[in-house]
Amino acid sequence: MVCREDYHTAPFAFYRYVPSIAAAIIFCILFVLSFFLHWFQMWKTKTWYLTCLVIGCLLEFIGYAGRAASATQEVNCWSLGPFIIQGIFILVPPALFAASIYIILGRIILLTDGESYSMIKRTRLTKTFVWGDVLCFWLQAGGGGLQAASNSPSLPKIGEYVVIAGLAFQIVWFGFFLVVATTFHRRMLRAPTERSQQSEVRWESYLTTLYVCSSLIMVRSIFRVIEYAMGNDGYLMAHEAFLYVFDAVPMFIVVVWLHWKHPSEIGLLLRGAEPPANGFEIVTMRRKDATI
């Protein structure tokens, strides 16, 4: 338990504001509901490659539960456990969401017979980007642990640098991924494959989903880099609203968008099944129809 009256001005403090229990509980509820719905959609359609997305929703829930726990404690006397949980479990889920998006592009390329249009072979594309994402994940998780796990004046600062490195690498890596995706898109538009011209193959709609989710993750990552670069005593760290506006809300939009434009449509088409009109119809589909 850390109790100090100068949490606004101390060199390092768990929070420089009183955490909002209402906001934390709202996002706990939103992400746990999304977790169950994404799990159900994945189970119904056997799209097991979306496991990272489901786990990401669960981690978001755990992270905001940690914030809610901190918010119930006496001001200035926040305990270490909930602070570590909220710090790490809110920081790392976007890397899992990104991993799902990398896999989706590979499925789009396979569905459209467009491997010749990809800068990276489809068989290597997912592995290439997911391994980079794994590095981002562990850098952010490790940095978050260093930042929170010690009262030493040096380790939290080292943790900040490690987190910044992980976030910066994620931005660069994600930027490279978007170059690969847009290059594939342009090449396909110039010379569409026979498969891509079939009416049921809505490949541009799938790419739109990829762009929307990627943009939101990119905005969130840029915000986080700026936040950590400004330091524990920076303006962004001192105002809780920024966390919700530039992290919680964009990430919730990502998971809701993927409920609506559920990537299982691609998998169903690859298996010769007829996909639903939108992801929410998966809930009412018979499972045997969804897994043909």
* Mean pLDDT within 9-26: 86
At 54, the pLDDT band (50, 70, 90 cuts) reads: very high
The pLDDT tens digits of the residues spanning 216-262 come to: 999 999 999 999 888 878 899 889 999 999 999 999 999 999 999 99
Q: Give the C-alpha separation, 155 to 162, whole Å.
A: 10
Secondary element (H or E) of residue 78? strand 77-78
Burial 41-61 (b: 16+ CB within 10 A, else e): bbebbebebbbbbbbbbbbbb
The domain segmentation of the chain, as residue ranges, is 18-290
The pLDDT tens digits of the residues spanning 56-93 come to: 999 999 999 999 999 999 888 888 889 889 988 998 89
User: What kind of fold does domain 18-290 have according to CATH?
Assistant: Rhopdopsin 7-helix transmembrane proteins (1.20.1070)
Q: Please tell me what DSSP assigns to residue 77.
A: E
Which pLDDT score, from 0 to 100, does residue 123 have?
80
Please say if the pLDDT value at position 290 is more than 80.
no
CB atoms within 10 A of CB 155: 16
At 11, the pLDDT band (50, 70, 90 cuts) reads: low
